[in-house]
Amino acid sequence: MRRSALFTLIAFSLFLMACDKSDDNVSSESEIAQEQMFEKYGIKPSGAEFINKVIDVIELDEYKLAFGKKMDQAWYAKYKRNGDEIYSFELAHNLIGDYKYSHCNSSSNLWINNNRLFLQCYLTNEENPETVDNTFGTALIFIDYEKGRQLYGVKSKNFGCQFKNLTELRDLYFIESGEWFDGGKVYSYYVFKNDGMSLWERDTKPGEERGIKGYDPYYFTSAGSIMYCKGFHTSGTEGYTADDASLDGNFTLRHLNLRDYEIDFEKMIDLSPETEEPKNVIYTNIEIASEGENMMKISYKEKKKVIDQVSGNVTHELVGDFYIRLSEIDGEEISRGEVE
């Protein structure tokens, strides 16, 4: 696989099915199903007789990655394209915490980044994952992708929390955990070094956004800080409305220190400085990104509201694509214009 492909984020769902070993016929059928799975994906696993379940096989440019259950533990293996096994191992369930079993389910995620593999799995004391409720420990396991060895792991601070939104920043990684399905009672931020060792972590505080996506649009200026636009509504075509007197064409640009939850600086940005009167327009597709050293760019679309006099229906006619370049240090405007 090309090295550049290792920087591709791979996110996929893994599904577990319980295997009933009490009936010989069921066991025989299960073994046949496993053999068919091996043939289907063209893999030659070592210790195939001990594999309880192949959940999925992901095909990359030059390799195949297999996941499942082996010896009643979460199992991971890497194969060449011809199916020859490169390495295979079961995850160490007792790496973090006192658990008997490791499992993967439909919420498990896999990321490959910079020769590191990050696998979200679940640590339990229940052999059958179908009996697991919310009292399980969610773990993020760090694996050396090339050498095929488990490095470190971190367990979410509360039962049921999941890891999401892995971001690589030079030789550091940012990730968060939270209760994503019930409104987010607990959110935590983690920053790791390339070797998997923790640099810092903290729980979010009352009053701040629950999860990094709550700051959209944003981008990371470092592993511990982001630049984001406060005042936009970027859902669908609603955009940011400049004909609302309470907003009148302005928004706030903020540089936020995530580690301490402190605002390093903020700057008011006016999208329509050429007029003092609000225009009958909306701004959509708001994006903010790095634009070279110590510079950033905010890009957006300006759309004019068009009201059908007969039906009263409202449509949006594109006026143009625009950008604003600003200093990443203090938010001062450098230039602005229309995208040609």
In the prediction, which pLDDT does 16 show?
A: 27
In eight-state DSSP terms, residue 268 is E
DSSP bridge partners of 149: 144
In the prediction, which pLDDT does 297 show?
A: 94
Q: Are 78 and 65 contacting, i.e. CB atoms less than 8 angstroms apart?
A: yes
Q: Are 226 and 211 contacting, i.e. CB atoms less than 8 angstroms apart?
A: no
**d(C-alpha 60, C-alpha 63), whole Å:** 5
In eight-state DSSP terms, residue 13 is -
Structure tokens at 50: 């001990």
Name which residue leads in pLDDT, 280 or 166. Answer: 166
Question: 10 Å Cβ neighbour count for 254?
Answer: 19
Share of the chain above pLDDT 90, in %: 16
Residue (of 70, 160, 69, 54) closest to 107 by Cα position: 160
Q: 7 Cβ partners below 8 Å, 6+ apart?
A: 113, 114, 168
Structure tokens at 327: 């200093």
**d(C-alpha 301, C-alpha 273), whole Å:** 16
In the prediction, which pLDDT does 227 show?
A: 92
User: For the CA atoms of the chain, what is the radius of gyration?
Assistant: 25
Query: Model confidence over 16-66: pLDDT tens digits?
Result: 233 343 344 444 555 666 778 788 889 999 988 888 878 778 888 889 988
Q: Are 96 and 102 contacting, i.e. CB atoms less than 8 angstroms apart?
A: no
**d(C-alpha 19, C-alpha 87), whole Å:** 25
Write out the DSSP string of 211-262.
SGGGG-SEEEEETTEEEEEES---STT--EETT-TTTTTEEEEEEEETTTTE
| H-run or E-run covering 76 | strand 73-80
Highest mean pLDDT among 14-23, 120-129, 289-298: 289-298
Query: Model confidence over 193-224: pLDDT tens digits?
Result: 877 788 899 888 887 887 888 888 899 998 88
Question: Once rounded to an integer, what is the mean pLDDT over residues 63-82?
Answer: 87
| H-run or E-run covering 29 | helix 24-41
**d(C-alpha 21, C-alpha 66), whole Å:** 23
Question: Once rounded to an integer, what is the mean pLDDT over residues 236-258?
Answer: 63
Name which residue leads in pLDDT, 205 or 128. Answer: 205
Q: Is the pLDDT of residue 111 over 80?
A: no
In the prediction, which pLDDT does 333 show?
A: 92
Specify the fold of 3-207.
Lipocalin (2.40.128)
Structure tokens at 277: 């009167």
Question: 10 Å Cβ neighbour count for 207?
Answer: 6
In the prediction, which pLDDT does 181 show?
A: 53
Q: What's 150-205 look like in SS3?
A: EEEEEECCCCCCEEEEEEEECCEEEEEEECCCCCCCCEEEEEEECCCCEEEEEECC
In the prediction, which pLDDT does 78 show?
A: 92
In the prediction, which pLDDT does 30 show?
A: 57
Name which residue leads in pLDDT, 324 or 94. Answer: 324
Name which residue leads in pLDDT, 209 or 257. Answer: 257
| H-run or E-run covering 70 | strand 63-70
Residue ranges per domain, the chain? 3-207, 228-338
In the prediction, which pLDDT does 335 show?
A: 93
Residue position matching structure tokens 């708001």: 286
> How far from chain centre, in Å, is Cα 150?
21
Structure tokens at 57: 């096989």
In the prediction, which pLDDT does 80 show?
A: 94
Provide the mean pLDDT of the chain.
76
**d(C-alpha 258, C-alpha 136), whole Å:** 28
